[in-house]
Amino acid sequence: MSSPVNLTVALVQQSNSDDVAQNMVKSIAGIRDAASQGAQLVVLQELHRSLYFCQTEDVDVFDLAETIPGPSSDTLAELAKELSIVIVASLFEKRATGLYHNTAVVLEKDGTIAGKYRKMHIPDDPGFYEKFYFTPGDLGFQPIQTSVGKLGVLVCWDQWFPEAARLMAMAGAELLIYPTAIGWDPRDDEGEKTRQKDAWVISQRAHAVANGVPVISCNRVGHESDPSEQSEGIVFWGNSFIAGPQGELLVEANNTDEQLLIVELDQQRCENVRRIWPYLRDRRIDHYHDLTKIYRD
């Protein structure tokens, strides 16, 4: 399956409420808007159906999980077919009772499921208690072949690990895509907030540079309260962006508003960049064996 030389991609940065149906309506509206402006590939943020429920540990939240295929993936598949576009969505997957994943599903433009990726790196930090909800993925770092190219789909915490990006690129990924939910503790001062956000942007732009592929990073925006009232909640910092193969920012959202970002990617330029910066050629895999260790004591 050949990839288009010029690919128009979009991401939908949105705020969420506890109204699951309304959140989906908002996501669908963003997808339709993107398609009307020529987008061939549309990316949604992490867990776009609901609030970011991992601020606390609550067994009742498992009621939000769905099978894939299931109601949400079916709705988005029908939309993908209607609009003849590819959609990357992030869902709370119920694989079996007591077994759940944080899963990105890719819907092909004919309405079929092109593939899915289960989040591999699962955080467990104050306000981000994901290990309570999600089993680490077991599908590996395998790009998903679609009509618009081979997509290296990863999810949020995965974006901090260069190994994940590299393995996707080594398997032929033409784009790296990160649905994300990341934000500030409102109690942090402005300097700390800036450092955190800048580190997040830098790390992903570095993946673009090191692998010679564009990066699409879609984050949510807005304040979400802590249901336990033990903290002041999370202010999701938005700042969604699309970067080119040399890490250049092609388009970037702000920290406060719902926004739709659209860019046309020149895939031939990506090919040219990888020819002049041949990182894969010069890797010294004969000396990388210690990377399979947790730490070198």
- Please list, in sequence order, all residues whose beta carbon lies within 8 angstroms of the beta carbon of residue 30, skipping any fewer than 6 positions away: 12, 14, 42, 44, 260
How many whole angstroms separate alpha carbon 200 and alpha carbon 198?
5
Assigned token pair, 29: 């509206």
**From 46, 66, 108, 174, active-site residue:** 46
- Catalytic annotation present for 232: no
**From 109, 116, 119, 197, active-site residue:** 119
- Catalytic annotation present for 156: yes
- Catalytic annotation present for 130: no
How many whole angstroms separate alpha carbon 131 and alpha carbon 142?
22
**From 93, 109, 156, 174, active-site residue:** 156
Assess whether the previous peptide bond of 69 is cis (omega < 30° from 0).
yes
Residue with tokens 């606390």, as numbered in its chain: 56
Determine the Cα angle at 117 with ends 15 and 289, to 5°.
Answer: 120
- Going by DSSP bridges, is the β-strand pair 144-146/149-153 parallel, antiparallel, or unpaired? antiparallel
Catalytic positions are: 46, 119, 156
